[in-house]
A and B are shown apart, each in its own frame.
Chain A
Amino acid sequence: MQTQEALSVRTGGGANPVRSEERAGKYLTFRLGREEFAIQVLKVREIMGMQDITEVPHTPAYVKGVINLRGKVIPVVDLRLKFGLPEAPYDHRTCIIVVQIQGPGTPILTGIVVDAVSEVLNIAASEIDDTPDFGDGVETPYLLGMAKTKGKVKILLDIDSVLTAQELQGLPSLVQ
């Protein structure tokens, strides 16, 4: 515990040190590789099983393509590839979480592919720590912090910056 305190003084996420009270609330947790991630429930519009994705040429590999969400065409991003994790075959547990993020001016609906959706958790402020500094000088502004609940660590994602940033650095060293 002591070391955790010491670590949290220097925020790895530095760019936006969000106070833990503001980060408290309901989170949807999901699995990517061996790690548990969480995004704010407020951002989630719906969760759907895997479906046919239409590939769009000349886009980065992590953009899997577009799907039909009740008459709307929305992009789908594979979060594994976005984070630079090895690609995994989709199975019956693979899900698309449709999130609403703030685009330039208007909100944008985007699907994110995750290995499996776990549960909705209420995370208290006291359970949240700032992202530790990994000492490699890599900034991770897309991380809101880390939460320890039920003896496990969950990585809180700022899904808006995850999806709007071009390159994400630093995560592979965190999850591997």
Chain B
Amino acid sequence: MAHRGPKQAAAELLNRLAVDLVMGEEAGGEPWRASVEETLKALSQVMAEAESFEGARLAADLAQEACSASQNCIPRLSAAIEELRALTEGISEPAPPPQAPAALAQDPELLSDFIVESREHLGSIEVQLLTLEQEPANAEAIHTVFRGFHTIKGLAGFLELDEIRQVAHEVETLLDLARNGQLKITPEVIDVVLAAADYLNRWLDRLQAAVAGGPAPEVASPEALLARVRAMLEAPAGSAAPAPAPAPPDAASAQARPAKEAAEESDAKRGSAERTVKVNTAKLDYLVDMVGELVIAQSLVRHAPELAAQTDSRLARNLSQMARITEEVQKTAMSMRMVTLGRLFQKMARLARDLGRKSGKQLEFETFGEDTELDRNIVEELADPLMHMVRNAVDHGIEPPEERAAAGKPPAARVTLKALHQSGQILIEIGDDGRGLDRQKILHKAVEKGLVEEGAALSDAEVFNLIFQPGFSTAAEVTDVSGRGVGMDVVRKHIQKLRGRIEIRSEAGRGTVFSIKLPLTLAIIDGLVVGVGQHRYIVPIYGVREMLRPSEEQITRLENRGETVMVRDRLLPLVRLHQVFQVEPKSAEPCESLLIVAEAEEKSFCLMVDELIGKQEVVIKSLGDMFGAIPGIAGGAILGDGRVGLILDLSGLYFRTGERR
């Protein structure tokens, strides 16, 4: 159902009335009168709604006259109809309601497809714009941006998303001029086009919320933006006038060096886009579940005692072939959840550009390894901390141009963002060549805050780690970008939540590098399978420091304070797993048990279990809604024999015992 304006409705009613009048001259009679009256009443209502009260009154009067059969109303109506036509002409079409109900009433699937596709286009538009800023004459980049807006315009028109269509249309016109060489690409043009892309992104957010059924955030009217675009369209109209002087290329413009590489990469991506399939994540999860089962079934068959007695070499060969294939299938299934860091890095490049322009610092932003793949969930969770760190680098790390000149550094600072594989983990580094962390200032601040004692001998690493303390900030002034002292502690929390670690290297005057080590995926962990009595538990290996069988001297029992173990000159609290979980152990004697030195949130403790059964890579599964949060348990996993093992939550275990005392 198309959205019909009141003007059109009134015109239709008037036409019907005119037809009735012609018919009426022959027909007359009661049904005719009823029809005329009904039409007039409807007309009156339409005109009243359109706030044309004069017309509404006239139509209502006529309706009354028409229904009184005593007189022939045809001449009167014929005369009035012209008057009504004139009045309907005066109806102003109200602006369509901002909700764009027509669009939201669309098939949600169509709308979701539109959102996904538009986001892809906007993503590549952003990359190409950063390229253009670098090489304003890059025709291929202009074409790509143009094509992106053109496609969005077409789709939005089809879905009756008027604001989106309008903005895309105006920008497309602007880009068309640029394509034909009638408009020079200046940083201002790029600003406007980026603003338009941002605006469209906000609209997509809104549509997405609407599709999900949640409250949709308001989006401002596009008028201001359209005015900016139109103003630019006007400018080159007097084509004889010199084109607006291009801003000096080095003036406060952040430069994105890898833009060219990024452009090539995105070209390659466009080529491969047709060969990808979108799959529902639930299906993927199911596949991963099933493959996990396949691996278990396979291992049960391989280790069946009946087969162990077999000596047939062909059977043995086939079995190991099956094992290899299963492993390969599992790897492939797991890799399907991975996405590249490309888009996240793009976001950071854009952020750095904006920050650079805002703060008047020149910077080159370089990215490496954006093809590196990581679990989707991790990439999503990584956006916030990375953003924080890029802000910090631009705002605190990099000196203003004068200071750089005084230090004999090139005026444009370098900020690098790189990702690489390192021993089964992902390493992400954010580096700048700025002033570096100021050891003295941090120490001073820490003493002031009572975090360390005056004159304490701390290594560089220990000093730098102080900036991860909550509320710690050495920035002298607070800008709207950073320096509020909430930041690095949040960054570290985020990284720890992803089971990662963050480290700092810094050299005064040479710059700072933050390196983040992350697991490839959140779905799988390496675990130690341990036993307590009949029960099997999985201890995440990233929290395990060492294992030992203590001697009697190492154990100290404190009155009402529990037990402690002396490990390498450190007194660690002893947590008996059988006590926490209230299960029957093989032995309640620490010296006959195995102690695992575990670390959780910077605290170490000894976890007492009966025995170590093995080491296994397990897929983490939720225990389900029925359980809620069980202290000490992070989830479940399917063990090699097909049974479920519980994965321990080390910090939950530690803090649980702390609370008990």
Q: Which residues of A contact B (CB under 8 A)?
A: 52, 54-59, 63, 65-68, 70-75, 103-104, 106, 108-110, 163
Contact = CB atoms under 8 A, between A and B. Distances in A.
Contact of A68 (B625, B630, B642, B646): B642
A59 B627 contact: yes
Smallest CB-CB A-B distances: 8 pairs: A71-B289, A57-B581, A73-B636, A54-B644, A71-B293, A73-B621, A75-B626, A66-B644
B201 to A, nearest CB: 28
Nearest to B621: A73
Interface of B: 288-290, 292-293, 535-536, 580-583, 621-627, 630-633, 636, 638, 642-646
Contacts of A110: 626
A70 B289 contact: yes
Most buried by A among B290, B292, B293, B624: B624
Contact of A56 (B536, B580, B625, B646): B646
Given A68-B643, A70-B293, A72-B289, A56 B627 contact: yes
Given A66-B623, A74-B624, A57 B633 contact: yes
B626 A54 contact: no
A106 B626 CA distance: 12
A54 B362 CA distance: 60
B633 A56 contact: yes
Nearest to B643: A52
B643 A59 contact: no
Contacts of A74: 624
Nearest to B295: A71
B interface secondary structure, majority: mixed
Contacts of A63: 626-627
Given A54-B645, A55-B583, A57-B583, A70 B627 contact: no
A55 B645 CA distance: 9
A104 B624 contact: no
Nearest to B641: A52
Nearest to B580: A57
Contact of A67 (B289, B535, B644): B644
B636 A66 contact: yes
A67 to B, nearest CB: 6
A163 B622 CA distance: 19
Contact of B632 (A52, A54, A57, A67): A57
A100 to B, nearest CB: 12
25 contacts: A54-B535, A54-B636, A54-B643, A54-B645, A56-B627, A57-B581, A57-B630, A58-B631, A58-B632, A67-B644, A68-B644, A70-B289, A70-B290, A71-B288, A71-B292, A71-B638, A72-B289, A72-B621, A73-B624, A75-B623, A75-B626, A104-B625, A108-B624, A108-B626, A110-B626
Nearest to A105: B625
A103 B630 contact: no
Given A71-B293, A72-B289, A103 B625 contact: yes
A97 to B, nearest CB: 16
A56 B630 contact: yes
Nearest to B581: A57
Nearest to B630: A58
A66 B630 CA distance: 13
Contacts of B288: 71
A103 B628 CA distance: 12
Contacts of B636: 54, 66, 73
Contacts of B624: 66, 73-75, 108-109
Nearest to B645: A54
A118 to B, nearest CB: 26
Contacts of B625: 103-104, 106, 108
B456 to A, nearest CB: 42
A59 B630 contact: yes
B138 to A, nearest CB: 48
B310 to A, nearest CB: 27
Contacts of A75: 623-624, 626-627
A103 B624 CA distance: 10
A58 B642 CA distance: 23
Contacts of A54: 535-536, 636, 643-646
Given A57-B630, A66-B623, A104-B625, 13 more contacts: A54-B535, A54-B636, A54-B644, A54-B645, A55-B535, A56-B627, A56-B646, A67-B644, A71-B290, A71-B292, A75-B626, A103-B625, A103-B626
A66 B626 CA distance: 11
Nearest to A77: B626
A170 B623 CA distance: 30
Contacts of B646: 54, 56
A73 B535 contact: no
Contacts of B583: 55, 57
Contacts of A57: 580-583, 630, 632-633
Contacts of B293: 70-71
A57 B581 CA distance: 5
Contacts of B632: 57-58
Contacts of A66: 623-624, 636, 644
Contacts of B581: 57-58
A92 B448 CA distance: 71
Nearest to A57: B581
B625 to A, nearest CB: 5
Nearest to A66: B644
A1 to B, nearest CB: 42
A141 B643 CA distance: 35
Nearest to A164: B626
A79 to B, nearest CB: 14
Contact of B622 (A70, A71, A73): A73
Nearest to A53: B644
A54 B636 CA distance: 10
A74 B625 CA distance: 10
A3 B558 CA distance: 69
Contacts of B289: 70-72
B633 to A, nearest CB: 7
A106 B282 CA distance: 13
Contacts of B292: 71
Nearest to B636: A73
